[in-house]
Amino acid sequence: MNRATAKHLIERYFRQLTEGCGNGNCTNEFCASCRDFRPLDSNSAAARALELFKINAKLCDYYPSFKSSADGNSLLDSTMSDKDTNDDFSDVHYLTENNICMILNFCEEEGDYSALVRVIGRVFSNAEALMKSFKKDEPNATENSCKPTDVEKQNDQTLEKMGAASAATLPDDALSDALSACEVAVDIQAVRRVYDRLLSIDQVEASLVNALIYLTPNVELDLEYLDVYEANPDYLNIFIIVMENSNLHSPEYLEVALPQFCKAMSKLPVTALARLSKLWSMYGLPHIRRMMETFQQLITFTVVSNEYDAENLVNDDETVVAATQCLKIVFYASILAGDVDVEHNEEDEEDTDSDELTLHELLGEERLYKKGPRVDPLEKELGIQTVDSIHPVIPFEDFVNESLNDVVEMDKDFTFFKVNAETKFSFQSCPFILSVITKNQGLYYDNRIRMYSERRLTALYSMVQGQQPNPYLKLKVRRDHIIDDALVRLEMISMENPSDLKKQLFVEFEGEQGVDEGGVSKEFFQLVLEEIFNPDIGMFTYDDETKLFWFNSSSLENEAQYTLIGIVLGLAIYNNCILDVHFPMVVYRKLMGKKGTYLDLSDSHPVLYQSLKGLLEYTGNVKEDMMLTFQISHTDLFGNPVLYDLKDQGDQIPVTIENRQEFVDLYVDYILNTSVERQFRAFKKGFLMVTNESPLKYLFRPEEVELLICGSRKLDFEALEKTTEYDGGYSKDSQIIKDFWETIHSFGEEQKRFFLQFTTGTDRAPVGGLGKLKMIIAKNGSDTDRLPTSHTCFNALLLPEYSTKEKLRERLLKAITYAKGFGML
């Protein structure tokens, strides 16, 4: 506990001993409001307060007085009217829809809302009183019910128009049943009706703000040090009730009240956070989105209102951190409220960890190199993962906060994520708020640190064993035998010392002079993929309609070939290279631990998907009209038909309207999982050899992994032109440069991809698009007949200053069309 927190708690004990809690029925022997309490002087009270702090004695909730004060020093009294009424409703100790409506009717008759302001302020500033409010077992208002105003009716009609049933709010009865399932005692509908009336009254709004400011610091301390939720799970009611306030995003709350409230909420134990997430998932889209936007607005407001740098990190901003942790609750609520698949999971690879100490552990670096993916505590409590989500009610992209991504120092954040997770907050623990570009930076730091570590360990081993150090993963290959050479070398490494795969890749083509600073590796990957995906080899099948590859279930190639392509994909991510790979999304979902399902067929096998969809939607007599059985057929590598029984004696079991869903499920499982199990298991094994210790699975969703491996297919050359730098005497205003970009923009799609391949070593854009590519155009002499050249390692184009635009176009086209191989200039 820090000094400021300890001081605040001691002050609360002192005030309790000297002033009491204000509750006339208090039974706490350490409180001045208790009838049996013996008054203490200030010095005695101070000493006693210190003793109570040491033994963690009971602290009462404070019941503030709401009478007008002459000096006006009280924060809550400042919202009250000086008018003294005969009926101040001092007997109201908690709120129900009944008593609120009764007080509202009284105030409207009197033309004065001061009594209502007092009651609202008194209850909303007191944790115990608010916790007891709006219980479901209280009788609802009848004659005094809070009827919606015309404005509220109009708002409800607007929400109804917002979309489909999944976007609508649950009916009253359904929501009540859902709340019962979550063991929540709050009458949510009553709370919403009350807020609809209260928030239209300015004086009440001010009282709510000030009461929240008073309430939350005490709630935060109680949660952090007194374990109040464990003692009484109804403590969660406070957060349920406050979050129903639809004005929390307004400026009145953003300055103080909402930040303090988020800090208190972030102190809830994970069991309470899981209850909140489950409850909110039942609210419907409009309410989940409102809460998401509330926390997002607080994060954005705080970030743009402050300046951050390497010394003043956004990770140290308590408001941003707390709001991000609260946003995580909404994130999982959005997943739970959408379409989820928690059943179809791939079996995890067996853990072959040795009991022997590793060198990393001997050096005290085991925290940096933990094996296996992280597990988020809230994910574990909810029993769900991000990869389980098929369609969340709020798109994942809406949870990304661009303002935050602009100020996060990823090198520092990575250190907190890997080393200081217990004491420092890392935004990588809430990856949903980070863009794929930002997360890729974190992955880059992780990969580079592993490379440097392997290099250092190699040096240590070589010193001990007296051998020549080999700090790189060196591959020497022949162009015309690239698969054989790469397969033999990588297979030896994977068997003898798999950790060598974590070293930085260094490729050398036999007989060529190119030094690998990144560009040679890019061409190596490209050539390997061209060979492996060659239809003549038969490892993969190609769909002319989707332009995608799928594993050939009848391939004659051994598993080592598939392991190689898995290693290649892992090395590409590890070495920050973009590959020209065309897999359906189900491959990346399977790599992340999910099995292929019916929905995955839509992009991997679209014709089959439409056929099975037609079967499921058919309204006629399935048995007689379709004449299908649980025996299916497909063609092998040589075009011969292969029969397969989905169930024992499947050819004797007809497909009917009753069992057609089972037939579809078994059919899909065979096509996407069972039939290619041998090939995919080897492929995944190779991929995990490189990425098993990476935070890849924790940080990225399947579609983001595809983006890491394949890059963006959208080529925005306008963005590339804006970010290109010039050297050797060229500038953006040089005539040759103007001619160059006019020529590039006039190229067709294929020619543009040739140019990218020639200049950067790949025809794909990196994560974030071509605007993230740092290309350099340097002057390479005056007018000449020589062709342009490039350094693909550095994305540098060496361009002679040609005399005419026509000559520039002709020389450039020839260079990019016939470019292959490396040489020294």
Q: 10: burial class by Cβ within 10 Å (0-12, 13-18, 19+)?
A: middle
Residue range 713-819, CATH number: 3.30.2410.10
**Mean pLDDT highest for which of 8-22, 453-467, 730-744, 757-771?**
730-744
CA dihedral over 46, 52, 55, 61, signed as positive or negative = negative
CB 569 within 8 A of CB 563: no
Q: What is the pLDDT of residues 336-383, one digit of tens each?
A: 999 999 888 877 654 444 444 444 444 455 555 554 457 889 999 999
Q: Give the H/E segment covering residue 390.
A: strand 389-391
Query: Pairing between strand 339-340 and 389-391?
Result: antiparallel
Return the amino acid letter for 703: E
Q: Give the H/E segment covering residue 474.
A: strand 472-477
From residue 725, alpha-carbon distances to 722, 768, 789, 795 in Å are: 9, 18, 17, 11
Q: What is the pLDDT of residues 578-629, one digit of tens each?
A: 888 889 999 999 999 999 999 999 999 999 999 999 999 999 999 999 999 9
**Mean pLDDT highest for which of 70-84, 200-214, 260-274?**
260-274
Query: Pairing between strand 472-477 and 504-509?
Result: parallel
Map residue 450 onto helix, strand or coil.
helix
Query: Nearest Cα to 295, choosing from 335, 266, 336?
Result: 266
Binned at pLDDT 50, 70 and 90, residue 74 comes out as very low
Map residue 797 onto helix, strand or coil.
strand
Q: Looking at residue 1, what is its pLDDT?
A: 55
Q: In the chain, where are the structural domains located?
A: 3-55, 92-135+184-268, 269-345+370-430, 713-819
Query: Nearest Cα to 599, choosing from 391, 412, 773, 769?
Result: 391
Least confidently predicted of 132-141, 490-499, 549-558, 666-675: 132-141
Q: 250: burial class by Cβ within 10 Å (0-12, 13-18, 19+)?
A: middle
Residues sharing a CB contact under 8 Å with residue 221, sequence separation 6 or more, in sequence order: 5, 8, 9, 12
User: For residues 284 and 81, which has the higher predicted lDDT (pLDDT)?
Assistant: 284
**Global pTM value:** 0.81
The phi and psi torsions of 550 (rounded to 5 degrees) equal: -140, 155
Q: 168: burial class by Cβ within 10 Å (0-12, 13-18, 19+)?
A: middle
User: For residues 416 and 535, which has the higher predicted lDDT (pLDDT)?
Assistant: 416
Cα 780 to chain centroid distance, Å, stands at: 46
Lookup: tokens for 108: 């409207």
Task: Please state, in angstroms and rounded to a whole number, the distance separating the CA atoms of residues 217 and 5.
Answer: 10
DSSP structural state of residue 594: B
Cα 721 to chain centroid distance, Å, stands at: 32
- Which entry of 182, 262, 710, 793 is annotated as an active-site residue? 793
Query: Nearest Cα to 78, choosing from 213, 244, 260, 267?
Result: 213
Q: Looking at residue 260, what is its pLDDT?
A: 95
Return the amino acid letter for 754: F
Return the amino acid letter for 68: S
Is position 107 annotated as part of the catalytic site? no
